Amino acid sequence: MNKQQVRKRIEELGIIPSVRVEYADDALFAAESVSAGGIPIVEITMTVEGALDVVSELAKRNSGLVVGAGTVLDIDLARRCLDAGAMFLTSTGLDVEIVRLAVERDVLALAGALTPTEVVAAFKAGADFVKVFPCSMVGGPAYIRALKAPLPHVPLIASGGVNQKTADAFIHAGAAALGIGAELIPRQAIYERNAGWISELARRFLTIVRNARSQMEEA
């Protein structure tokens, strides 16, 4: 899957599940569960034990799943993620070197940012999306709306504090997509190996995004 196809998948679904669990087996289970629920996208955070092996395993399966690497904190790790087969790179904060590497390797870059200065810098460096994190701590949907007013051309991903109650508001505020972690992949569901629970949450979030977008088109 090339960069344009990955971008299209993210834009269409509007949700990027963030897999931040403890062990590799848990991460693989989470990836399979969200995909079964209709979201064939996962961001495997580098905090997972054996994260690079998870990325590699999922990429090799060639199942149509878009697998990316999250919490990429330095350029060396970014290179290792790409070598493992990551189709996109996500950083917690802005690291221009990582963005430039992604551009160089023709891979999608989701640069982390918080302030307007960081958002602009990330976009100028070549980021395909700018992930605003932690969004809920600085105003939630209202903050996304405030950023979109002067920066309507920058595709923003709302991350941090997105749940079933706030997802609709984030889309209405202008978020191109939502980064969702524990609200989509509960720890208890992982512990119980309850794939149905995670898949149902995936379907619920997809419905929320679709309905919000439809309402915006009709307005």
* 136/14: higher pLDDT: 14
Question: Would you call 52 helix, strand, or coil by DSSP?
Answer: helix
CA 169 to chain CA centroid, nearest Å:
18
- Is residue 29 scored above 80 in pLDDT? yes
Structure tokens at 157: 């991903």
Question: Where do the structural domains in the chain lie, given as residue ranges?
Answer: 3-218
CB contact at 8 A, 112 and 127: no
Mode of pairing for the β-strands spanning 108-113 and 129-132: parallel
Burial of 102 (0-12, 13-18, 19+ CB in 10 A): buried
pLDDT the model gives residue 187: 95
**Residue linked to tokens 């960081």:** 118
Residue 167 vs residues 5, 14, 28, 60, 64: alpha-carbon distances, Å: 24, 10, 25, 32, 25
Query: What DSSP assignment string belongs to 70-117?
Result: ES--SHHHHHHHHHHT-SEEE-SS--HHHHHHHHHTT-EEEEEE-SHH
- Is residue 132 scored above 80 in pLDDT? yes
- What is the spatial distance between Cα 206 and Cα 214, in angstroms, rounded to a whole number? 12
- Is residue 62 scored above 80 in pLDDT? no
With bands split at pLDDT 50, 70 and 90, how would you rate the model's confidence at 1? confident
Q: Which whole number is the average pLDDT over 8-37?
A: 97
- What is the spatial distance between Cα 27 and Cα 186, in angstroms, rounded to a whole number? 12
Q: Which whole number is the average pLDDT over 76-104?
A: 97
Q: Which whole number is the average pLDDT over 170-196?
A: 97
pLDDT the model gives residue 101: 97
- Is residue 89 scored above 90 in pLDDT? yes
- Is residue 218 scored above 90 in pLDDT? no
Percent of the chain with pLDDT strictly greater than 90: 95
Q: Please, what is the Cα angle at 54 between 53 and 56, to 5 degrees?
A: 65
Name the CATH topology of 3-218: TIM Barrel (3.20.20)
| Average model confidence (pLDDT) across the chain | 96
Instruction: Please state which of the ranges 1-10, 57-66, 129-138 shows the lowest mean pLDDT.
Output: 57-66
With bands split at pLDDT 50, 70 and 90, how would you rate the model's confidence at 219? confident
E strand or H helix at 51? helix 51-61
CB contact at 8 A, 101 and 121: no
With bands split at pLDDT 50, 70 and 90, how would you rate the model's confidence at 171? very high
CB contact at 8 A, 41 and 70: no
Percent of the chain with pLDDT strictly greater than 70: 100
Burial of 214 (0-12, 13-18, 19+ CB in 10 A): exposed
> What's the whole-model pTM score?
0.96
- Which of 63, 37, 69, 68 is CA-nearest to residue 184? 37
Query: What DSSP assignment string belongs to 118-175?
Result: HHHHHHHHT-SEEEETTGGGGTTHHHHHHHHTT-TTS-EEEESS--TTTHHHHHHHT-
